[in-house]
Amino acid sequence: MKAIVQDRYGSSDVLRFEDVDTPTPGDNEVLVRVHAASVNAYDWHVMRGDPRIARLMAPRMFGLSGPKAKIRGRDFAGRVEAVGRRVARFQPGDEVFGDLGSGDGAFAEYVCVADDTVEPKPANLTFEQAAAIPVAGTTALMGVRDLGRARPGQQFLINGASGGVGTFAVQIAKSFGAEVTAVCSTRNADLLLSIGADHVVDYTKEDFTGNGKRYDVVFDLVANRSLADLRRALTPEGTLVLSGGGVSDGGSLFGPVGLSVKGLLMSRFVRHRILALSVEINRDNLATLRELAESEMVTPVVDRTYSLSETPEAIRYLELDHARAKVVITVD
C-alpha cells in the first residue's frame, strides 16, 4: 500500500510517499480502507519532534532522532476491510471513523485500529467531514464539556476559534446553551458567525484581554498570551482552560507546554480555576461527537483537501498558520 513515512525529525521535506506493507488486524482490531484522513497540529509536532521536551515526556511517541511510528496521521474515516476474530461490533463494508492515537498511521491506504477507538461514521457526513472529527472534536468536547462545564447562559470565550479545534468548540459550546464569543482575525469573522458564535472579537482591532469584558470561561487554543492577560478576561471565579497552541518557528524547548505548566502552578494560589487539557480518545467521546453530527448540532468545517501524495504540502499549510478549520487528506 501507499503511505506517508518518515525516519527522522524535520520539516515536511523529510516525509516520503512510498510503498509499505499492508497491516494485518490483530484479534481486537479492524482493518480499514482509508478514504480520508485529517491533519492536526499534533502531526507537525511529532514530525518535527517539537517541543523538544516532548521527546522525554512522551517516549511512546518520540524517539531521540525520529518518531517511534514511521507513518504519520491519526484521524481517519473509511470502510472496514477485515476484522479480528474477537471483534463483534463491525463487519466488512461498515463505514467508520476513528483515531489511531500515538500509534499513528492514518496517512496511508489502510490502517489497523483497536475496535474500542473506532465508531460508525455519522450517516449524514462525507468521509472527508468524518475524518475531520476525532482529535479536534474530542479536544473541543473535553475542553467545553468536561473542563469548561458549559451550560445555558454561561459567557464562554474561545481564543483561536477559527482553527480546527476552535470551530468544533464554538458549535459544542452552543449545543450546551452557552453564549459564545469567538476570537479570530477579520477574514474568519463571517465563518464563525455562520456556525453559531454569538459575538466575534477581531484580534486585529480589539484586545479581548483589555476591553473590560469578563467571561465565565476562557478556552485558550493559541498560547500567545500571558496568564495575566488571560486571567484579566475572567470573572472573579472564572475558569481558564489551556490547550496547546503555537505554530512552527524552527523548534522550541517547551512550546505551549510551558504556559500549561505555569498555569497549573499558579492555580494553587488564585481563585480562578486554571486547567490544562489532556485529551482522551475513546468510544464514548467519539459516540457523543457522532450524535452531535447526526443531530446537525455540529458540522465539521473543512478548509481544503489534498491527495495522499500531497500530504507534505498539507502539513506545511497547516503548520505555517495559514489554515482555518480543518485540512483533510483524500485517499481514494
263: closest CA among 240, 244, 247, 246?
Answer: 240
pLDDT of residue 320: 78
| CATH C-level class of 135-276 | alpha beta
Report the CATH number of the 2-133+300-330 domain: 3.90.180.10
The sign of the dihedral angle between the CA atoms of 216, 220, 221, 225 is positive
Contact 39, 327 (CB under 8 A): yes
Q: What is the pLDDT of residues 221-279, one digit of tens each?
A: 998 899 999 999 999 999 999 997 655 455 555 456 667 677 777 767 788 999 999 88
Q: In terms of pLDDT, which residue wins out, 165 or 51?
A: 165
Going along the chain, which residue ranges are E strands? 2-5, 16-19, 29-39, 75-83, 95-99, 110-114, 118-120, 155-159, 179-184, 199-202, 215-220, 234-242, 273-276, 302-307, 326-330
Banded model confidence at residue 103, pLDDT cuts 50, 70, 90: confident
Which helix (H) or strand (E) covers residue 262, if one does? helix 257-266
Q: What is the pLDDT of residues 292-301, one digit of tens each?
A: 999 999 999 9
DSSP 254: S
pTM of the model: 0.92
Mean pLDDT to the nearest integer, 284-308? 97
Mean pLDDT to the nearest integer, 44-62? 72
Q: Look over the chain and give the mean of its residue pLDDT values, rounded to a whole number.
A: 91
313: closest CA among 33, 34, 44, 19?
Answer: 44
pLDDT of residue 266: 76
Mean pLDDT to the nearest integer, 304-319? 95
Residue 47 and residue 66: Cα distance in Å, rounded?
8
Domain spans, the chain: 2-133+300-330, 135-276
Segment 8-11 long-range contacts (CB within 8 Å, at least 24 positions apart): 8/65, 8/66, 9/47, 9/48, 9/49, 9/50, 9/65, 9/66, 9/67, 10/47, 10/48, 11/47, 11/48, 11/316
